[in-house]
Each structure stands twice: as structure tokens, then as C-alpha cells.
Structure 1
Amino acid sequence: MTEIKAMNGIKTIRCYDDFIKSLFMTGMSMGGPNDEHVFSLCNFFGDEIEWHTEKPDTDPWEWRMRVLNERDDIAYGKLFFKKSGYITKDWFPYFYAARRDKTSLEEAYAEGKISQPAKLIYEILKEERTMPLHLLKSAGGFSKENKAAFERGLTELQMKMYITMCGQKRKRSEKGEEYGWSSTVFCLVEDFFTEDILEEAGHIDGEAAFWKISEQIVRFNPKADPKKVKKFVLG
């Protein structure tokens, strides 16, 4: 059995509950391996942890939806390097402040910081509040030919903290019967966390937020490359 050296209180992760405790200790983590060499709790997984076994207690792939279905204090989505990641409620206001810095999507679009596909997706969610991926794609008129633009828009909005994943939902036939694989459901960030979380973010200076997150990362990975840390924080 592999034992992993504890770092600042993080011990070997052997199950979902261990992962949650460690996540609240760190506040953030890549969803997969630490390929960018910034920070991932995957570095602390013990031998018990196995991907894609569908075992809810020891399969990290199952944990993505468990945090969304069972909790209201952890965000999950494409958050770091256009890859999956987790951010706890306590740290979300700092990322929100660092990446958005009180800029609305309309302002960001006018400044050329948001693409047209991303704006379209956002407007649909602003109207519908929540929507599964397959219906969102249909509502936006995205075909197979512009699938890549749709996926880039979704990632862009998650990275810039405008939308987030909020669960899963299966497709329904004309008879109302569920079928096929579950589809990821998205919503606006404003509809995911309670109002006080985003209100807190509004009182945090973007640059101060950047340094606070950076210090937390270095606490758990003193060897992190400053350039990679900057990209991790700012998206």
C-alpha cells in the first residue's frame, strides 16, 4: 500500500471523504493529474483510488458529479488551463475577483474579450437559467460543423467565471422517457452560489485576490513555476 508524505496537513487520499477534507484544506485543485505542475490533489491519491470503476467512494471520475449533486459549496468545471478543476466556496470569490474584476459579460464582449459563440451561450443561459449541454447546443443552433466553436465557448465562459456546471440530466424522448448517457447541466455562476458569495467577491480587489491565491498555491507547491501559477490563477 502506497503511503504518501503529508504536506502541510494533506495526508494520503483513500476515498471521497478524504478528498473533500483535503480540498477544503487547499481550496482548489486540478481535476486530473498535475500535468501543469501547479497543484493537484491527485498527487496524494493512495492505491485505493482507481479511475473509471464507477465506484462512488474511490473513483475520482464519480466525484465530479457527487460534489455537484450532494453539496452546494464546491464548484467544478473547466477552470484551470482549460481543464477540469475544483474550487471551494471560500476561495471562489477570490478567483471570481481575479478573473472578472467586476466586469459584466456585455462589457467584456464590447472590449473583445468574449467571443460571439460564448456570448450566445451566455444569453441562452441567462434566459433559461439552467440547461443540459445537448439542449444548449440545439438552442444556440450549433451544428456538427461548428461543434468546436460551441465547445470553445463553453470552456471560455467557465474559465472566465460566467457559467459553471451544476449537475447532470439524461435526454428525454418525445414520450418523456429518459434515454442515453447523462448530459452535463450548466447555469450562470450567479445561480450556483448564494448571493453573499458573489457580494463578497465584489469587495475584493482583483490584484489582491491574485496574490492571495498565488500564496496558497506556493504553500502547497513551493516549486510551482510563477508563470504557470499566474496562468492557473487568471485563466
Structure 2
Amino acid sequence: MKINEIYNCSGLVEYINEIGFLPLLHMGLDGWSAEEAVDEECRYVTLPDGGWEWPLWEWKGDIIRESGCAYGKFFARKAAFISREWWPDFCNWRRNVYPHPEESSIEDMILQTLQENGSMITRDLRKACGFTGTKMRGKFDTYISRLEMGCYIVTEDFVYSKDRHGRNYGWGMVVAYHA
């Protein structure tokens, strides 16, 4: 499959499976991202009314559900897809670099909360772990990113808020899953 010739979600799934792992956005290596792999019509566009369209962004959940690939902040805390075939080796390598969190650490508490509750929207996970109040979201996100980098948490899906007309809006909330 050639770069810039991907026009739909299934084409991107095929490409991810072909190459094994693919960052969502450009990370400094030209041509090595989903953003660069898709046709220009699938890239981010600002609309005249101030809104936006971004088919690639909307495909993230579908890609995870259809392909069974992993999605998370795996490279320099940037989001990427890892194919089902590559996941075991990638996961083993990352867990060697990022050993299991120490018992009773904040990361361990987050993992235990996920084990007890199953997958959770990160907003609910943050509350369940006691990260409420001002400036706590950023601190919590740092712990989640570390757990993603070690392949202990992956994104299972995305949940979108709805406007008064029932349309999705926003960037989507992550549904985290203990890997």
C-alpha cells in the first residue's frame, strides 16, 4: 500500500497490520505516521464556522475495534497503533524498559482500580483514584502516560460527549483497559 492512498478506516487497518506499528501523528520521521499515510481529504480541516473535520481522528475507535490492535501513548508519550501480531513482542520489550510499578505506588493503585472495575473512561478512573480538584488532571495524565509507555494500560475505545442535537463533539474520552 502506498502512502497517501489510504481513504478509509479499513485501508488504514490494513496498513497498520502490514507495517506493525504506526504513530497517529508525525513524530519527526517523514512518512511514518497515520496522519501522513492517509489521503489529504482524511486530514485535519478547519471549517469556516470554526468547527473541524478530521476523518482520521474519527477512525481511531473503529480501528481498535475492527483490528484488535493496541492504541496508546507508546512512543515519547505520543499515540500510536501496534498491530495484534506485533503486540506481544512490543509489550515484552516495553515492560523490560518500564518494569511493573512498585506495590502501593500510585501507578499500582491505578492498575488495581482497573482490575477491580474493568475498563473505565479515564475521567471516571481519575475520580475513582482520588485525583479530584484543581491541577489533578495533569498529574493523573502523567501516571497514565507512564503506564501506557510500559504497555500496562491500552485504550479500548473512545466515548464522545453529545451536544443538544445528539451529535458527537470534542476529542473523545479514552476508555482505559488494563493490558
**In the alignment, is the contact (CA less than 8 A) between 2:26 and 2:35 conserved in 1?**
yes
Which runs of 5 or more residues in structure 2 are unaligned? 45-51, 162-167
Aligned-partner Cα distance in 1 for 2:169–2:128: 20
Which runs of 5 or more residues in structure 1 are unaligned? 1-8, 172-178, 190-235
**In the alignment, is the contact (CA less than 8 A) between 1:131 and 1:186 conserved in 2?**
yes
Q: CA deviation digits over 1:154-209, x for unaligned, max 9?
A: 111111000111113468xxxxxxx98653211111xxxxxxxxxxxxxxxxxxxx
Q: Structure 1 counterpart of 2:56, which letter?
A: P
Match of 2:62 in 1: 66
Match of 2:117 in 1: 128
Aligned-partner Cα distance in 2 for 1:30–1:89: 15
**In the alignment, is the contact (CA less than 8 A) between 2:98 and 2:149 conserved in 1?**
no
Seen in structure 2, the aligned counterparts of structure 1 residues 71 and 18 have a Cα distance that, compared at 3 Å, is closer
Shift of 1:17: 2.4
Shift of 1:109: 1.8
The structure with the largest alpha-carbon Rg is 1
Match of 1:157 in 2: 147
Q: Secondary structure at the match of 2:90?
A: helix
Match of 1:81 in 2: 76
Match of 2:85 in 1: 90
Shift of 1:37: 5.2
Q: Secondary structure at the match of 2:60?
A: helix
Q: CA deviation digits over 1:104-148, x for unaligned, max 9?
A: 73xx426xxxx9332221121121121111111111110223222
Q: What RMSD, in angstroms, separates the aligned Cα atoms of the two structures? A: 2.8
Count how many residue pairs are aligned between Structure 1 and Structure 2: 163
Match of 2:8 in 1: 15
TM-score w.r.t. structure 1 length?
Answer: 0.60
**In the alignment, is the contact (CA less than 8 A) between 1:34 and 1:42 conserved in 2?**
no
Shift of 1:100: 1.2
Aligned-partner Cα distance in 1 for 2:73–2:87: 14
Q: Structure 1 counterpart of 2:125, which letter?
A: L
Seen in structure 2, the aligned counterparts of structure 1 residues 36 and 142 have a Cα distance that, compared at 3 Å, is farther
Match of 2:165 in 1: none
Seen in structure 2, the aligned counterparts of structure 1 residues 85 and 134 have a Cα distance that, compared at 3 Å, is same
| More strand as a share of residues | 2
Seen in structure 2, the aligned counterparts of structure 1 residues 41 and 184 have a Cα distance that, compared at 3 Å, is closer
Seen in structure 2, the aligned counterparts of structure 1 residues 84 and 109 have a Cα distance that, compared at 3 Å, is same
Shift of 1:61: 0.4
Match of 2:164 in 1: none
Q: Secondary structure at the match of 2:42?
A: coil
TM-score w.r.t. structure 2 length?
Answer: 0.77
Shift of 1:41: 3.5
